[in-house]
Amino acid sequence: MEKEAKLPYEVTFESDVRGSYLVLKVNQEDDLYGYQVEMMLSNNIPSLLEFNLRQKDIYRYLYYNITSKLKLSNLLERRKLKKIELLEILIEILQGILAGTNFLLNYDGYCIQEEYIFIHPETLQISLLYIPSPMKGGDLGQELGRLINRLIVAVDPNEESSDNLLLKILYLLNLQTFTLEGFLVSLRELKGEVLRESTIGTKTRSKEPQEQLPSNKLSQYPPKNHMPFEEGKIVIKKDNKACKEYKANKDTTLKEKKGLKKETVVSKAKQAAKEMDYTNRTKLMILLSETLILITVGLIFLETTILKNPATGQVDVASLMGVFILVSVINYLLFKKVFLKERITVVKEVETVKDHPPNSKQVKGFKENTAYPKKGTYAGNLDTVLLVSSNGRPNLISVQGGIKEKKPINGDLFIVGKLKEQVDYVVPKKTVSRVHAEIRHVDGGYFLKDLNSRNGTYLNGERIQSNIDFLLKDEDRVTFADAEYIFSFEENSR
């Protein structure tokens, strides 16, 4: 399960008919900045989560509306970032922090951690969590540095000129005169450069010399009239580990691509032939050789005094039987090892197929009388889900209008929603959120989690709280808004 970042207060998640909320529980004796609470309640502060304060018994609860928003950590787990997306995320975060000063908000009240930064799954608009309390503490510079290093690792290594952009960002972070305002100005310039590059043709772009660091423009920032932060400096050290990890990801991806280009049908056939390294004749020869060796060993034992009874001088029957049983066991084990190798190879081939399920677009809805191929035959298309079921993978089953739709849950993370680009299964209903819920396979179990959907996710008729894992059992009813499914491990549709 996900490990939540630490906050000074107890964190829970709640859902009702109006939406999903992140809730912080504050003791009565804990201080809150009253003027900041009033500012947050009375104003629509840019890039800040919608905020509300409720009193229950001796506790105060800070409610943050996270309806239809994803944790940044969820987004980074699903896909790589483009250069322009990295810059836009950083720019929005910095703009939000700086805009907060106009509403008397402090830098150290922001939670700049990927678990508590929320993002719109389609527009990538950022919403920040701000805690109006001196208990928040923390160092904004360190949190921002860790976040940037995490985002750098998440950048797509295949995108052109991404290395140069990341070097510029790291260079800006390590300027002795670093300030938030200066960093924001520089990021905006870098965004302009990326947008201009995207409008230039590939040939023209390849002829241009790469910009060297430090550049004259970047070295001019921050401007003289900037807003100081902690006496004008934020100490953010470059994370060499993050840079190495990004480079390793890029090198690995390039190697995989080259390998795929060189791979041919002939080479695959040769590799398969090597795996079947025991022919029937070879197996027979090996077994005969092993039998002769064992017989020879037995004769040696008979000729020596090891098996003879010292009193009678005759061969001891009990010892002889013991040797015979031992020889038989060894022979059986060798026989089993040789003749089961082919079976083991076949099992490995089946597991390889299981790890590469059919494309989700090719798994169509089907009627109840769908004919499945018999064992050992080839269906000729990818519309069957028999392989997934026989391997123990569950399905989401929906019956509407007499037609049964059976969607296999392939992979350890399965996202449901209506935003085609970011989900594994599209539910084309207006009531379903863009990224509605997830089913995650962990330690042999399957867990359902609502991802802050507007209309909620239901398990056996009861609405579940968002961002909390609920264990799924065979034949459970799972409802995304008003789209109902059965979670099932059934082998065949009936």
In this structure, is residue 214 part of a structural domain?
yes
**What pLDDT shows up at residue 318?**
66
CA atoms of 226 and 239, how far apart (whole Å): 26
Give the residue with greater pLDDT, 92 vs 277: 92
87 and 161 fall within a common domain: yes
**What pLDDT shows up at residue 192?**
92
Give the residue with greater pLDDT, 451 vs 2: 451
241 has pLDDT over 70: no
Give the residue with greater pLDDT, 417 vs 174: 417
**What pLDDT shows up at residue 78?**
87
Q: Phi, psi (5° rounding) for residue 39? A: -60, -45
Mean pLDDT, residues 252-262 taken together: 53
470 and 402 fall within a common domain: yes
Angle at 202 between CA 79 and CA 168, to 5 degrees: 60
CA atoms of 139 and 136, how far apart (whole Å): 10
119 and 187 fall within a common domain: yes
pLDDT in tens, 374-432: 444 444 444 433 333 445 789 999 977 678 889 999 889 999 999 998 999 999 999 99
- Partnered with residue 470 across adjacent β-strands are 448
**What pLDDT shows up at residue 283?**
63
363 has pLDDT over 50: no
In this prediction, residue 240 has a pLDDT band, given cuts at 50, 70 and 90, of low
341 and 317 fall within a common domain: yes
Mean pLDDT, residues 293-316 taken together: 66
CA atoms of 35 and 40, how far apart (whole Å): 9
Summary mean pLDDT of the chain = 75
290 and 346 fall within a common domain: yes
**Residue 466 burial (CB < 10 Å; 0-12/13-18/19+)?**
buried
Last residue of a domain, one of 324, 356, 388: 356
In this structure, is residue 169 part of a structural domain?
yes
In this structure, is residue 60 part of a structural domain?
no
214 has pLDDT over 70: no
Mean pLDDT, residues 350-373 taken together: 38
In this structure, is residue 438 part of a structural domain?
yes
In this structure, is residue 61 part of a structural domain?
no
Last residue of a domain, one of 326, 356, 386: 356
In this structure, is residue 81 part of a structural domain?
yes
288 and 392 fall within a common domain: no
What's the domain range around 375?
362-488
In contact, 440 and 487? CB cutoff 8 Å: no
Angle of helix 317-339 versus helix 341-354 axis, rounded to 10:
40
478 and 369 fall within a common domain: yes
Angle of helix 180-198 versus helix 83-100 axis, rounded to 10:
150
Instruction: For residue 460, give Cα distances in angstroms to 192, 401, 430, 434, 472.
Output: 51, 22, 22, 22, 10
140 and 274 fall within a common domain: no
Considering 22-26, 57-61, 333-337, 340-344, the range whose residues carry the highest mean pLDDT is 22-26
Give the residue with greater pLDDT, 320 vs 448: 448
In the chain, the number of structural domains is 3
285 and 315 fall within a common domain: yes
125 has pLDDT over 50: yes
CA atoms of 405 and 395, how far apart (whole Å): 10
* DSSP code string of 332-367: HHHHHHHHTHHHHHHHHHHHHHHTSPPPTTT---B-
CA-wise closest residue to 124 among 160, 93, 167: 93
Mean pLDDT, residues 455-463 taken together: 95
388 and 241 fall within a common domain: no
Half-sphere exposure of 146 (CA within 13 A, CB side): 11
**What pLDDT shows up at residue 147?**
93
Last residue of a domain, one of 232, 258, 284: 258
Q: What share of the chain is helix, strand, coil (3-state, %, to 5)?
A: 40, 20, 40
142 and 291 fall within a common domain: no
229 and 279 fall within a common domain: no
Residue bearing tokens 């089946």? 350
**What pLDDT shows up at residue 291?**
72
In the sheet with 483-488, reading across from the earlier edge strand, the strands are: 403-408, 395-400, 483-488, 476-480, 457-459, 462-463
174 has pLDDT over 80: yes
In this structure, is residue 31 part of a structural domain?
no
Mean pLDDT, residues 205-227 taken together: 44
**What pLDDT shows up at residue 362?**
38
Low-confidence winner among 54-68, 158-172, 326-340, 407-421 (lowest mean pLDDT): 326-340
Low-confidence winner among 132-141, 247-256, 446-455 (lowest mean pLDDT): 247-256
pTM listed for this prediction = 0.62
Residue bearing tokens 């990341």? 166
Q: What is the CATH number for 376?
A: 2.60.200.20
Low-confidence winner among 230-234, 299-303, 401-405 (lowest mean pLDDT): 230-234
CA atoms of 134 and 112, how far apart (whole Å): 16
